[in-house]
Chain A
Amino acid sequence: MYLHAMEPYIPLNVLQLKIKKGKLNLTTVVEHYLRRIQEEAHLNAFIEVYEQEALDLALTVNEKIMNGTAGKLAGMVIGIKDLICYKDHGVSAGSKILENYVSIFSSTVVERMLAEDVIIIGRLNCDEFAMGGSNENSYFGPVKNYADNTKVSGGSSGGSAVAVQAGLCMAALGTDTGGSVRQPASFCGIVGLKPTYGRVSRHGIVAYASSFDQVGPLTNSVEDTALIMEVIAGHDDYDSTSSTKPVPLYSQELTFEGKNELHIYRKH
């Protein structure tokens, strides 16, 4: 069994191949993450876990992988920040004021990921309305750093960062207004991207500062970030600030060509 917390992360394409060859079952993968979430419940990364749904989806997606009809994110088990609407699921923005609020529609990012067969395993803790840099402003309590439980996770996407850091899911979505994806990613030793403003639709994201907010992935690898971006980026009729620029196939363009030259700017 390859999947346990201390072993290196396996790239999605390798995972998909293993499933296709019948060497691994997606149910086993989802069960592994559900067990990890339970084991590390004290980190307080998840606000809610969609256990049965994830298991049900694992069966469907596994079959799709076997018969070659699966989407780009098939097999990816992902968590979403508690600021991202997912129809018929709670979204609280880490606040008491939305404690029992249930989304009446899905955000564009969720719809696009589901169309590519992602498995959403739960929603993740964050600072209230994304206001904070340590996840200590959440109504649901702080998130603990997996590297040292006496340290903060960073924020505001603290739950998203720790969930990936501790291997509770493969990747997560966060939102970044002034550093809320990048700073917790840094505190947790993972990759976190804030895209260009307008690259990703904000439709269905609980608004904080609308001229800054962007959804961004938190992952174990640049490859996963590229793949998720490829799926979630692009124009959306529901967000007039989303760009109509075509979305490159980021995951196919990861070769760096060019010379390296480093200039150092000093304070003067």
Chain B
Amino acid sequence: MAESSSNLARYDGVHYGYRSPNAVDLESTYKKSRSEGFGTEVKRRILLGTFVLSAGHYDSFYGKAQQVRRLIREKTDEILRDHDFILLPTSPGPAFGLGEKTEDPVVMYLADIFTVQASLAGIPAISLPLRNNSRNLPLGIQLIGKRFGESELLAFSKYLMEVTKIQ
């Protein structure tokens, strides 16, 4: 979110894309173009990102997050020194209903709980279709591999797909 608040600063109604027709001066061009152009979730992340990067909170949020990220990366690399892959679910459940989780952003973020480890560690991970559940909704299984170990990851994925194939 910290990075997104910086990355999205460029959409100011001047450089790219939408410019509010209601703007009367430079400041209102920025404010109105961004207010009218971005959706709720994007605004939420820009605000949160800007907050955690602000002078009084930088160390307790952004600095801390960077430390945690390094720890996760180191621990994951350590596991992958002894093991070839990590096998885990891709998501806590199958596809949920439209509108079911839109009320609470935190509940929505939890849908990513099993995928963020590989993202934080910067290593490859693949989701493979396993089976469908009793309601015929697909379920995926995730394999995490070593840094730049895409070859091994893909070869083992193919093997796993073949041995789990429904006969």
Select one of A127, A207, A229, A255 contacting B150, CB under 8 A: A229
By a CB distance below 8 angstroms, the chain A residues around B138 are: 147, 186-190
- Cβ-defined contact, A131 with B37, below 8 A: no
By a CB distance below 8 angstroms, the chain B residues around A188 are: 95, 138
A222 in contact with B17 given A128-B38, A186-B90, A248-B151 (CB within 8 Å): no
A174-197 with Cβ < 8 A to chain B: 176-179, 181-183, 185-197
A153 to B95, CA, bound (A): 7
By a CB distance below 8 angstroms, the chain A residues around B109 are: 133
Interface bin, chain A:
35 or more
A150 in contact with B97 given A98-B18, A212-B119 (CB within 8 Å): yes
- Cβ-defined contact, B3 with A248, below 8 A: no
B56-82 with Cβ < 8 A to chain A: none
- Cβ-defined contact, A97 with B147, below 8 A: no
- Cβ-defined contact, B127 with A192, below 8 A: yes
- Cβ-defined contact, B91 with A196, below 8 A: no
B101-117 with Cβ < 8 A to chain A: 101-102, 108-109, 111-112, 114-116
Select one of B33, B37, B139, B156 contacting A186, CB under 8 A: B139
B21 within 8 A of A: no
A263 to B82, CA, bound (A): 11
Interface bin, chain B:
35 or more
Main SS at interface, chain A: loop
Closest to A145 in B: B95
Binary A-proximity of B15-54 (CB < 8 A = 1, otherwise 0): 0111000000000000001101111111001000000000
By a CB distance below 8 angstroms, the chain B residues around A185 are: 90, 127, 129, 140
By a CB distance below 8 angstroms, the chain B residues around A129 are: 4, 8, 42
- Cβ-defined contact, B95 with A179, below 8 A: no
A152 in contact with B97 given A176-B119, A211-B3 (CB within 8 Å): yes
What is the minimal beta-carbon distance from A248 to any residue of chain B, in angstroms? 5
Closest to B120 in A: A212
Q: Which of B39, B99, B109, B156 has the most CB of A within 10 A?
A: B39
B55 within 8 A of A: no
A182 to B7, CA, bound (A): 23
Select one of B17, B108, B148, B159 contacting A245, CB under 8 A: B148
A193 to B97, CA, bound (A): 24
- Cβ-defined contact, B96 with A222, below 8 A: no
Q: Which of A134, A186, A188, A199 has the most CB of B within 10 A?
A: A186
Closest to A129 in B: B42
- Cβ-defined contact, A134 with B119, below 8 A: no
- Cβ-defined contact, A191 with B112, below 8 A: no
Count contacts between A and B, CB distance < 8 Å.
233
A118-151 with Cβ < 8 A to chain B: 127-129, 131-134, 136-137, 139, 142, 144-145, 147-148, 150-151
By a CB distance below 8 angstroms, the chain A residues around B140 are: 182, 185-187, 189, 192
A142 in contact with B155 given A147-B136, A183-B91, A208-B7 (CB within 8 Å): no
What is the minimal beta-carbon distance from B110 to any residue of chain A, in angstroms? 9
A1 within 8 A of B: no
A253 to B159, CA, bound (A): 12
Closest to A243 in B: B148
A97 to B14, CA, bound (A): 11
Closest to A177 in B: B119
By a CB distance below 8 angstroms, the chain B residues around A95 are: 17, 37-39, 42
Q: List 16 A-B contacts (CB under 8 A).
A: A97-B37, A129-B4, A144-B98, A151-B95, A152-B98, A182-B127, A183-B112, A186-B91, A191-B128, A193-B124, A193-B154, A195-B124, A195-B150, A212-B3, A225-B154, A250-B154
Q: Can you name 14 extra interface pairs (CB under 8 A) apart from A178-B112, A190-B138, A191-B128?
A: A134-B102, A134-B111, A148-B137, A182-B90, A182-B126, A183-B90, A189-B140, A192-B140, A196-B123, A196-B149, A197-B122, A212-B120, A222-B157, A225-B154
